[in-house]
Amino acid sequence: MKSSLTAIKGTKDILPEEVRLWQKTEGICRQVFEVYGYREIRTPIIEPTELFVKGTGETTDIVTKEMYTFTDKGGRSITLRPEYTPSVVRAIIEHRLYLQPSPLRFYYFGPMFRHDRPQKGRYRQFHQVDIEVFGEADPSLDAEILEMADYLLHLLGVTERETLINSVGCPVCRPQYLALLREEAEKIKPLLCEDCQRRVEINPLRVFDCKISSCQELASRLPQIKDYLCADCAFHFETFRHWLDFYGLSYRLEPRLVRGLDYYTRTTFEIICSSLGAQNAILGGGRYDHLMKLYGGPDICGIGFAMGMERLLAVANLKIEKDRWLYIVCLGEKAREQGLRLCRELRHVGISALLEYKEKNLKALLARANKLGATWTIIIGEEEVARGECQVKEMASGVQKPVPLAEVEALMQKLYTSTMKLSELNLAESFRR
Ligand code: HAM
């Protein structure tokens, strides 16, 4: 059957088999973040449009072209968040979290929305794993963050990856560089695409974000910020690199890595996987030391990164264990009563169990157990009820044993919480306890 109602272009359903992989990936991220001292924070999907215009930047592609913005019933301009960083900063200011001991470390998982042209690895609704740290200006932290990312990607089995780093300077050195960049960009302006011609006027740094190869080629000959950093920024970058070396992390200097968001200062970085094709960045981030102040909050620096879950899952190498669960089949009314009671008891001690409601013969029920992929089947017939027993069958080996109903919970707990086989269990022994 086909319906004309399908998911919106650039969005996709995550089906139950895939969800397992998402859960495992999220679980590993969560564990690593917690060990590194991060705490989870959750903020709304909708935010005032102004938040992104001001923070992400008026001249960025995200704000000029990609936001899902609408006017709500109260006449307010609302945007489905295209990224997470501005929301975290807003929440910190709103709830005065900056009064807590610093540095503050937060992490987050959730959907983001950008109306870009969909292609492999680029969606209109995608998911980010995000971490942010506030209140620590030391460049050792910049390196610590990349060390954590490296460890996490190692645990997720992402083998072929490359880290790119750059410094985009600060309000002291950037204006001078921007003036020079504009001057040079003006000279090649007629050769640039229409968007870039506009970028030269408004913010020439954005020319480096252009995805058109002829513009990229021309941009590669423009002056690079690394040659115009002030002494403090140069020192910060040097020290950052020193600590990357200390951790034994390899990286490539990429002077054109200005990142497509306006708030960055000093350190920027990306981790790319070439096997992903054109959309090869699995992680992007950097420092944003003035964003909190820009929003009217205290002058507290920040740094963080976000990983795209869809891209991450495309290169992660994780094994998903098969679900282990118990199928209960009952033959007759009395047996069903026993089965329902047992099913409830087992579920309440944490064993995944399902009871079959359809009345069929045993052969058909066992065939169904195999088809459903049950690990064990418990069979309760009238005779078993009379004897106060049930049959436990291990589906993979076909081994089947009679077990007193009063003992089946203990037996199942043993099987469920270990890799022990039914044939390995000395039932008489195990019931003596
Ligand atoms: P971003 O580079 O725009 O940075 O996005 C981070 C990651 O999200 C990308 O590296 C990519 O993996 C994924 N991503 C972005 N757009 C899409 C898309 N349309 N489809 C699929 N995946 C996508 C930020 O968003 C910053 N807020 C990161 C940050 C946190 N900087 C400091 N703190």
* Angle 428-431-433 from CA coordinates, rounded to 5°: 120
**Counting atoms of ligand 1 from 1, which one is nearest the CA of 259?**
2
**For residue 426, pLDDT beyond 90:** no
Question: CA-CA distance, 311 to 123, in Å (whole number)?
Answer: 10
168-177, 202-211, 299-308: lowest mean pLDDT where?
202-211
> What pLDDT score was predicted for residue 148?
98
310 lines ligand 1 (CB under 6 A): yes
**% the chain with pLDDT above 70:** 98
**Counting atoms of ligand 1 from 1, which one is nearest the CA of 121?**
21
| pLDDT tens-digit map of 184-205 | 999 999 999 999 999 898 889 8
132 lines ligand 1 (CB under 6 A): yes
**For residue 329, pLDDT beyond 80:** yes
Question: CA-CA distance, 303 to 392, in Å (whole number)?
Answer: 56
Q: How far is ligand 1, taken at its centre, from the CA of residue 84, in Å?
A: 9
Contacts of 394 (CB under 8 A, 6+ apart): 375, 376, 400, 421, 422, 423
90 lines ligand 1 (CB under 6 A): no
11 lines ligand 1 (CB under 6 A): no
31-35, 109-113, 176-180: lowest mean pLDDT where?
176-180
| pLDDT tens-digit map of 353-385 | 999 999 889 999 999 999 999 999 999 999 999
- Residue 16 CA, chain-centre distance (Å), reads 17
Nearest CA to ligand 1 atom 15: 308
**Counting atoms of ligand 1 from 1, which one is nearest the CA of 281?**
10
Nearest CA to ligand 1 atom 13: 308
Provide the pLDDT confidence category of residue 431 given band limits of 50, 70 and 90: low
| pLDDT tens-digit map of 37-65 | 999 999 999 999 999 999 999 989 999 99
Contacts of 312 (CB under 8 A, 6+ apart): 25, 129, 156, 158, 282, 283
Of the candidates 352, 307, 359, the residue with the CA atom closest to the CA atom of residue 332: 359
Bridge-based pairing of strands 77-80 and 68-71 is antiparallel
> What pLDDT score was predicted for residue 64?
92
Bridge-based pairing of strands 77-80 and 46-48 is antiparallel
| pLDDT tens-digit map of 228-281 | 999 999 999 999 999 999 999 999 999 989 888 999 999 999 999 999 998 999
306 lines ligand 1 (CB under 6 A): yes
Structure tokens given for 358: 């359809």
Q: How far is ligand 1, taken at its centre, from the CA of residue 308, in Å?
A: 6
Nearest CA to ligand 1 atom 22: 308
Mean pLDDT of 397-425: 93
**Taking the CB of residue 212, how many other CB atoms lie within 10 A of it?**
13
Q: How far is ligand 1, taken at its centre, from the CA of residue 307, in Å?
A: 6
In which residue are the tokens 């938040």 written?
51
Nearest CA to ligand 1 atom 16: 122
Question: CA-CA distance, 187 to 200, in Å (whole number)?
Answer: 10
**Counting atoms of ligand 1 from 1, which one is nearest the CA of 285?**
31
| pLDDT tens-digit map of 70-103 | 999 999 999 999 999 999 999 999 999 999 999 9
Provide the pLDDT confidence category of residue 433 given band limits of 50, 70 and 90: very low
**For residue 432, pLDDT beyond 80:** no
105 lines ligand 1 (CB under 6 A): no
**For residue 3, pLDDT beyond 90:** no
